[in-house]
Structure 1
Amino acid sequence: MGGASDPGQRLSWIAAVAGPLALATDPAAARSATDLFVETGGPVGYALVFLFAAIPWFEIFLVIPVGIGLGMNVVGVAVFAFLGNVLSVYAVIAFHDRARAWWARYRRTEPKPRERAGGRVRAVWDRYGLAGLAMSSPMVTGVHLAALIALALGSRKRAVGAWLTASIALWTVILTAVSYYGFGFVAGL
């Protein structure tokens, strides 16, 4: 069987990573890279969906349409994109206090108690709160930055996790449906 040193296996890995990039540059290369990506399928394709969904600014808004557009299983793309995105947010939430304490030690200052934000940020926070930030975060800031903002403004970790999980789940369903029916509509033209 082909191991990591097998040229065909390496080519499949390269195509899996380069397939989405090739779509934008060369249609002929896009077809061959996409075919290899879909042929790789299985654990490799879904592991890439999971990993890319965990990366800030890639997240579900890019990963779900690309995965579905490449012909991967719709439910599989949705599940792995959701898991990658939500688990990385939980990591941000879990390590926020440690990172904050490390930064204070690095700067040789005592961690200050969380102060209220002023100005415009405070006005937006007062009006929409954690729920508004969480529901708009996949479109506006990205969920990782939204988690950091909410924690910096004094929200409880459990509330941040719950609201962002609900937001990611909602946006995963919306993006999956729009991508699936959108590609189906375009293919029918």
Structure 2
Amino acid sequence: MNTYLAYFVVFLLGATPFFEVVAVIPIGIAAGLQAFPVALAAFAGNIATILLLIALTDQTKRWLERRKEKKGKNNSEKKQQRAAFVWKKYGLPGLSLVAPFITGSHLGAVLAMSFGGTKKQITFWMVISIVIWTIIMGVASYYGIDYFFDRTNSDGFLTNLLD
């Protein structure tokens, strides 16, 4: 696969809700791509859609309400309850930092809006959160894969497993 196309796919997956930097960075690095460009592409994709969601707050809230009416009660209510608990206990910083794991950062941003956070506050804390998780996942994935697999073969560990 063309290298630029591979990084573009990482960008798109980073922009995809519930995939985000937490899952995309390890996958990209495990596939044999360079760690820094993978982290940068995943971060750019994730933050682009988060900022777009925040900018379109009112439209996003209306869309979520229509979606909830159509589907009725579902699994996202559990996620909302977990997010509300984190919001009450730790506020916006806490929700932003754990959102990639309990709800996904996209839904976390939307929930933060519905809990009363301002666009400026949510933007600040979501950027901080995504930067932190990008660094953590990039470093952990790079060194973790180094630990388990020989990176001298530029094909990546997926190729090594198939040999």
TM-score by length of 2: 0.76
Point out where structure 2 has 5 or more consecutive residues left out of the alignment.
Answer: 67-80, 151-163
Match of 1:152 in 2: 114
CA contact (8 A) 2:11 2:42 kept: yes
Residue type of the partner of 2:129? S
**In structure 2, distance between residues paired with 1:101 and 1:153:** 15
| SS in structure 2 of the partner of residue 72 of structure 1 | coil
**1:58 maps to 2:58:** no
TM-score by length of 1: 0.66
CA contact (8 A) 2:96 2:125 kept: yes
Cα deviations by residue, 1:89-130 (Å, 9 ceiling, x for unpaired): 01111112134457889xxxxxxxxxxxxx986654232000
User: Do the aligned partners of residues 99 and 145 (structure 1) sit closer, same or farther apart at CA in structure 2, a change above 3 Å counting?
Assistant: closer
The number of aligned residues is 136
User: Do the aligned partners of residues 78 and 95 (structure 1) sit closer, same or farther apart at CA in structure 2, a change above 3 Å counting?
Assistant: same
1 or 2 for the larger relative contact order (CA 8 Å, sep ≥6)? 2
Cα deviations by residue, 1:13-70 (Å, 9 ceiling, x for unpaired): xxxxxxxxxxxxxxxxxxxxxxxx3xx11x2111101000000111112210111011
User: Do the aligned partners of residues 133 and 122 (structure 1) sit closer, same or farther apart at CA in structure 2, a change above 3 Å counting?
Assistant: closer
User: Do the aligned partners of residues 128 and 81 (structure 1) sit closer, same or farther apart at CA in structure 2, a change above 3 Å counting?
Assistant: same
The structure whose Rg is larger is 1
CA contact (8 A) 2:86 2:95 kept: no
**In structure 2, distance between residues paired with 1:122 and 1:98:** 21
User: Do the aligned partners of residues 152 and 180 (structure 1) sit closer, same or farther apart at CA in structure 2, a change above 3 Å counting?
Assistant: same
**In structure 2, distance between residues paired with 1:82 and 1:184:** 22
Residue type of the partner of 2:121? A
Point out where structure 1 has 5 or more consecutive residues left out of the alignment.
Answer: 1-36, 106-118
